[in-house]
Structures are given as structure tokens and as C-alpha cells.
Chains A and B, each alone.
Chain A
């Protein structure tokens, strides 16, 4: 079976953070070059680090990317923001 790629770059981290509710859904579409302002980006990383029990550095450090690569549930960590998980 295809292996899901580990999170090893800012782009992948951006998709991950958007997939699990830390960034707006728009960030999930690698085609558009939606710019994130720095504050939003740092906040998103800090939120994830806090939720996952990591040191809250706001940096996309190795520890953070390692945790982003762990197998997990596909439901968003932060619910109620954006499109949620809806059956159309």
C-alpha cells in the first residue's frame, strides 16, 4: 500500500495544520499560493504544540514535524472552525 509521506517541509506542515483545524481550510490547497501572515502561522504552530503537549516554541522544529508524522485520527483537533466534517 502507498505510504503516507512524513511531514518534512513547511508546505506539508501547512497542509497538516489546515487539515486538523489549526489554519483556515484554504491553506490546504497546495495549488493556491495563499499567503499566511507570520502571526497566523506562528499561532497555528503554537496551538498544535500546546495540544500535542510539546514545548511551545512557535517554530516548526524537528520535534514538531516528528509528531506531525505520527499515525493519527483524521478528525480535526479544533472543531467548529471552518467547514467542520460535513456529509454533503
Chain B
């Protein structure tokens, strides 16, 4: 990575969009811009609050050709956007001759370009790591976005690692007088090691993995729970209740949560409209009181599980659930009925969770994977990094 040499002296930054793109809906742009800023909050204490008027740190504009800063845009293609480093004001300009899109391989993805430009607004220069967000070239639409270690190291070298409790960015009304409160610390407890049955597991759009249990959630690392967890679900996803039945993140970057007869849609950690809605309204053909849900890596479709049955939901089809469903879960060879959770993990494997155990599924063989130690394995050991818990269930008579 490379740093320009300046940074903001404060970490709670404000921004406003003073000129919107002509082809997108304003609230969609607001959500994408917030999501792009949130990329830089994940690993630092930076917070970003949107204002609709008055002085802000970062002003955002969608403009064409010459637009007053002496650096004219060049029409579709070529230069997509540019931004000023903090010492030069931090503003970000986007070429509105581009076909800006959201969650689609068409055109130019607004979220990815905006997250890159805000890296400049925060003091990052271009990186020569082609996998880094701060590489100068647009790489095309990436449905599952994950900040590269190079980018994390860069932003943390300017603003330090994340220390605060999760303070969702843009969670406050758009004023600069934020209530001086810190969310109640939920004491880290190791109860998850004593009782590792979970309500659901899902990946965030930025590739983080979260486990929900009751009114708390755990952010997982590659082999355990991140320091400082569990935290309250209501703090991480304002407006979302506890005791969630199922959750998944779809390729549109939105995360769907299910409980009882209702569901919620989130863009990152912000509710994405007026929720909850009835499952029957948004997911016709899918039952209530689900056990588990996931997007299967084998075909990118959404699968719902309840009792001994499963349903396949394809939003691009009419009807989204074929009449041949539900089908028996026994089709997934070796996977038990009455699941707690299902997850397509960032390593590409599909996992099923039930009670204190989990199963790794071999998508090609369409059967539970064979490995040593065999599946099912204890969740506590392998997912939550619990010490003095067995790493295998061999000899377990349940």
C-alpha cells in the first residue's frame, strides 16, 4: 500500500452527497455510499455520518467533463472517478457519464468505486497489489466484496485498529451532535463453549462470518470468536430482534433475516426499507418458522430448511419455488433433519449445524464430506475455538 501523507485528525467524519447521479434512485445511492464508507469502519474506529446540508468533511458529487477542479472527466470508460486527499479537502467526484449500477455485472459498480475513492479521501494512495481495493484499475463487478489485507494494513496505519464497540455508521440522525453514549458492553462470556447450539450463521456482504444466539452475536475469525464478542444483535443491526431462525446474504449484497412469520432485509448493518414483512409476501412458497437458510455455492440458489424438508427459491423464476418442492432433506446425503443453521462459508464449502455439532458437505459428491476426524464434529472446538472441548464426536452415543 502507499499513503499520500495526510489524514484526518478526527475519526468521526461527516459527508453529504451534493449532486446525485442521473440514472439511480437517491435512496439506493445513499445506501450504497453508506456501505462504501462502512468498508473503512470495519477494521478501524472511523465512523461516517451522512448530513443533508451544511459543512461536512467529505463532499460527494456526480458530475461530467469539466466540473471546476481543473481535472475534467473523459466520458464513459477511462477515468471513472477521483478524490482529494484529506489535506486537499477529501471530496470525491464521480464521472456521471459512467453507467453506475448496483449489485449488477452491467455498467460500473458504484459501491466498489466509491469504497476505493473514499480510501483516497482518508489518505490512502494507490496500491500496486492488484488484489487490493486501492489498486487503480476497476476489476469489474465482485458480488462478494472482501477488503484485502493490504487495504486493512493501510487504513490501520493511519487510524489504528478497531477498539470501540460496534457503533454502526450512519446509525444516528444526520446531525453532528451525536449522543455521547457507548453501547452497553456485553461481557465476553464463554457460554458458547458450554452450549454451542446456535440460532443461525451467515456471511456479511464484506465476507465476515457471524453466529447468532439468542439476543447476542459473535463475529468469527478463521478459527475462533473475535475478541470483544458476543455483542447485542440490536446494536449490530439496529431494529433486528433476537432469536433469529435463519439468515443469508444474497449476491445483491443484501442480508435477509427470518423469524417466525416475518423477515427483514439489511444493507450491511442498516435496515433496507420498511421491515419486517411477511415471509409469504416476499418469499412466496416458503413456509414460516424456518430452521435454516443459505445460498448454495453449487448453483447460487437460495435453500430453506424446515423439519425434514427443504425448498429451493430462485428469485429470477416465476414461480420462484417449483411445484416439485418441498423435497426431503435426506436428499442431502448424511445431513440430519431439524437443522439449526446452514452456511456457505468463505472457504467455498457448505456447512450444516445441528445442536452442538456440524457437518461439512461435499458439493460435488452431494454428500457429507469424509475426513478425519469424521463429521459431525463439535462446533465449539472448530468454530468457536473453545479450549478443553473435544475435537471429534467419535464415541459420542447420541
Contact residues of A with B, CB < 8 Å? Answer: 1-5, 20, 50-53, 67, 69-77, 79-80, 84-88
Whole-angstrom CA separation of A74 from B126 in the bound complex: 11
CB distance from A10 to the nearest CB of B (A): 18
Contact residues of B with A, CB < 8 Å? Answer: 2, 4-5, 64-65, 69-71, 73-85, 88-89, 91, 95, 97-98, 108, 113, 116-117, 120, 125-126, 128, 130, 136-138
Are B84 and A72 within 8 A (Cβ)? no
Are A87 and B136 within 8 A (Cβ)? no
Given the contacts A71-B80, A72-B79, A51 and B138 also touching, CB distance less than 8 Å: no
| Contact among B4, B78, B130 for A71, CB-based, below 8 A | B78
CB distance from B273 to the nearest CB of A (A): 31
Most buried by B among A72, A74, A77, A84: A74
CB distance from B377 to the nearest CB of A (A): 40
The A interface, classified by DSSP as helix, strand, loop or mixed, is loop
Given the contacts A67-B137, A70-B138, A79-B4, A2 and B80 also touching, CB distance less than 8 Å: no
Given the contacts A2-B75, A73-B80, A74-B82, A84 and B136 also touching, CB distance less than 8 Å: no
Whole-angstrom CA separation of A79 from B127 in the bound complex: 11
| Contact among A4, A74, A77 for B75, CB-based, below 8 A | A4
Are A79 and B88 within 8 A (Cβ)? no
Whole-angstrom CA separation of A53 from B81 in the bound complex: 22
Whole-angstrom CA separation of A76 from B76 in the bound complex: 19
**Chain B residue contacts of A71, Cβ below 8 A:** 77-80, 98, 108, 137-138
Are A73 and B126 within 8 A (Cβ)? yes
| Contact among B4, B81, B89 for A73, CB-based, below 8 A | B81
CB distance from B388 to the nearest CB of A (A): 47
Are A80 and B75 within 8 A (Cβ)? no
**Chain A residue contacts of B97, Cβ below 8 A:** 1-2
**Chain A residue contacts of B78, Cβ below 8 A:** 4-5, 69, 71-72
Are B130 and A73 within 8 A (Cβ)? no
Provide a sorted-by-A list of 18 A–B residue pairs whose CB atoms are within 8 angstroms. Answer: A1-B64, A1-B75, A3-B76, A4-B75, A67-B137, A70-B138, A71-B79, A71-B98, A71-B138, A73-B120, A73-B136, A74-B80, A74-B82, A75-B82, A75-B117, A79-B5, A87-B84, A87-B88
